[in-house]
Amino acid sequence: MIKARDITVHFGKRQILKEIDFIAKPGQVSSVVGPNGSGKTTLLRALTGEIACDGEIILNGRDLRQIPHWQLAGMRAVLPQSTALAFPFNVIEVIHLGLPDRRSYPLALEALSRVGLAGYEQRPYQELSGGEKQRVQLARVLAQITGPTDQAGPRWLFLDEPVSALDIGHQLQIMRLAREFADAGGGVVAIMHDLNLTAMFSDQITLLKDGAVLGTGRPEDTLTDSLLSRAYDCPLRVGFTPPQVPFVLPQSAGKGL
């Protein structure tokens, strides 16, 4: 369980996050959405321990600030939006970057086949397509929190706009893998841009605007016409696909609609 209370972050004199409360449960995908500059990524950086913040963050029952960074690395992993590497690492070497040593080769191999890239071990990372790179990075972060550690409690996967640079096929692929991780008992916290993708894969959605929480809850509770229109400052309409999954359309989509 992640319990964050009164999270406040200042960059210089500017207040980026204002007293945010956030809860994420293991077994669930908890997404954070909001317009550009609403503080989504800052919230993720606070929750992962990357930046200091006021307030309190409890991760698996422990105060985040009290957890040494090497222990933290066994409890949670972070998938960035995209990762360019300056050096010619091959795929299996990239996955090993997150692992303590080379004895964990089987672990890296298993993570690679989990993302559907078995056989890619020797491929130079720099020569992969954007979608393949992101899957290799996902394998890396999965391997990081799959291995044995002495840390009790569920493992956490943080995703920072993981699919923003990918086509729709790869978007679904990455999100399905995140979903699988949650279904297997891990916790997923995802910073998302695409509202429809978020609605499809999330158990809980938190809507941010100007560094504060505008709404939080199940997708159908958070993704409403009024909340979304307020958050994004444009008229948005929410519909529902048959099994009650919301989808979002702009109200005046051009072409005479």
What is the CA angle 116-136-207, rounded to 5?
A: 100
Min separation Cβ 11 and another protein, Å? 10
Q: Which is nearer to another protein, 57 or 205 (CB)?
A: 57
Min separation Cβ 78 and another protein, Å? 4
Min separation Cβ 47 and another protein, Å? 12
Q: Which is nearer to another protein, 28 or 83 (CB)?
A: 83
3-state percent helix, strand, coil for the chain, nearest multiple of 5: 35, 30, 35
Q: Which is nearer to another protein, 105 or 247 (CB)?
A: 105
Burial category of 36 from C-beta neighbours within 10 Å (exposed 0-12, middle 13-18, buried 19 and up): exposed
Q: Which is nearer to another protein, 132 or 232 (CB)?
A: 132
Min separation Cβ 84 and another protein, Å? 8
Sheet strands side by side (includes 187-191)? 76-79, 156-160, 187-191, 29-33, 204-209, 212-217
DSSP 8-class letter at 256: T
Min separation Cβ 40 and another protein, Å? 15
What is the CA angle 179-183-184, rounded to 5?
A: 120
Q: Which is nearer to another protein, 145 or 228 (CB)?
A: 145
Identify the CA nearest to 153 among candidates 72, 44, 244: 72
Identify the CA nearest to 63 among candidates 144, 4, 150: 4
How far is the C-alpha of 40 from the C-alpha of 164, rounded, in Å?
14
Q: Interface with another protein by CB under 8 A: which residues?
A: 45, 48-50, 69-74, 76-78, 80, 83, 85-93, 97-98, 102, 105, 121-122, 144
